[in-house]
Amino acid sequence: MELGYHYAPSIHAGIAMKPSIRQKLDLLVDRLDEIDRMLSAPETAGDMEQFRKLSRERAEVEPVIVHFNAFRQAEQDLAEAEAMRDDPEMRDFAEEEIAAVKARLPELEIELQKLLLPKDPNDERSVLLEIRAGTGGDESALFAGDLFRMYSRYAERQRWQVEVLSASESELGGYREIICRIAGYGAYSRLKFESGGHRVQRVPETETQGRIHTSACTVAIMPEADEVEDVNLNPADLRIDTFRASGAGGQHINKTDSAVRITHIPTGIVAECQDGRSQHANKASAMKVLAARIKDVQVRAQQSHIASTRKNLIGSGDRSERIRTYNFPQGRITDHRINLTLYKIAAIMDGDMDELLGALAAEYQADLLAELAEQQ
């Protein structure tokens, strides 16, 4: 098994906390005291919006201060142990204590630095998942179906809700394209590194000679947009077309112009939906997809700008990048961005993605930590 974690090289045992980081933490201690005073003030109790805002901020700041207090206690323990070293009777005990605290301090500092990393404002959001079959014809469509099943099973394990918004099924099974909503707190934070090219190597069911074929799909993970706050959709900028739904869906659907296509004229971005039983339901779904796609363009532009100054491609939002290979004959999945190979393809395809997604998140976090260290 190959592991490609590159934890921040400049954050090692024995290095004292940088003054700039300590200064940030001291400011947060003062801020927590200020928040507590404001929360206990009578005027705050009468302003629910202000009360909720301060409560959210306190929930974010408090874990940092708890870790900082533990770090300061460890520093105090170290100072006391070093003072005891001068006493011959206490020297052995002091040496043990010094060694233990020196081992604990760097771990506490790294945890603190992780807590200080800037948070992605979209991390808490639900997502829209879009899977498109690429090269490989019917086999690619079948693989798109397998990927959809993998993400659906993972969502079930997290107790998230999966709602199919649009699906174009292929004749042999699977999907030429499928768009679904995965609703759950923090879904974007766990799935955001899945965007990109997914390649499969296996013997297709239709292959009579036993040859291994290679095909591919493109996955896009988009944070769900709040149509009111995130994306200002002016009705004058929208062209809404209705048409008769095609494909599976029953006779009721095919007799009416229930399918909806919405075009955002300024950007040319299009979203359509034909899976619902009514034009109203399809319009609502298409609006969700359209808002998410417009927001996604904004997020990817921002990610692209950040990635241009960073060597690590994780989170760059580059959909053309081949990020992962699924090799069924060898039973392995390789993520090319972090050079991680896991020989548990059956479990992962059944939704057991925690190890894979955790490794990607750890690599991304380490990259941010290294960047933070360089800035100090």
Chain-centre distance of CA 355, in angstroms? Answer: 14
Which pLDDT does position 160 carry in this prediction? 96
Which pLDDT does position 247 carry in this prediction? 55
Q: Where in the chain is the domain with CATH 1.20.58?
A: 19-116
Q: Where in the chain is the domain with CATH 3.30.70.1660?
A: 127-367
Which pLDDT does position 217 carry in this prediction? 94
Query: 19-116 architecture in CATH?
Result: Up-down Bundle (1.20)
Q: Which SS3 state, helix, strand or coil, does residue 319 take? A: coil
Per-residue pLDDT of the chain (376 residues; tens, 9 = 90+): 333 333 333 333 344 677 877 888 888 999 999 999 999 998 888 888 888 889 888 888 899 999 999 999 999 999 999 999 888 888 889 899 999 999 999 888 888 888 888 778 888 889 999 999 987 788 999 999 999 999 999 999 999 999 998 888 988 889 999 999 999 988 999 999 999 999 999 998 777 788 899 999 999 998 887 654 556 777 788 888 888 766 544 444 455 667 888 888 888 888 888 877 678 888 888 888 888 888 887 777 766 654 554 444 455 545 567 899 999 999 999 999 999 999 999 999 999 999 999 999 888 888 777 776 666 5
String of DSSP letters for 338-366: TTEEES-HHHHHTT--HHHHHHHHHHHHH
Q: Choose which CATH entry (3.30.70.1660, 3.50.50.60, 3.30.470.20, 3.40.390.30) describes domain 127-367.
A: 3.30.70.1660
Query: How is residue 374 written in tokens?
Result: 């360089």
Tell me how far apart the alpha carbons of residues 354 and 340 are, in angstroms, rounded to a whole number: 14
String of DSSP letters for 241-272: EEE---SSS-HHHHTTT-EEEEEETTTTEEEE
Tell me how far apart the alpha carbons of residues 341 and 183 are, in angstroms, rounded to a whole number: 29
Contact 349, 198 (CB under 8 A): no
- Contacts of residue 75, defined as CB under 8 A and 6 or more positions apart, other chains included, come to 105
Contact 35, 58 (CB under 8 A): yes
Question: Tokens 């339901």, residue?
Answer: 281
Look up the pTM and report it: 0.67
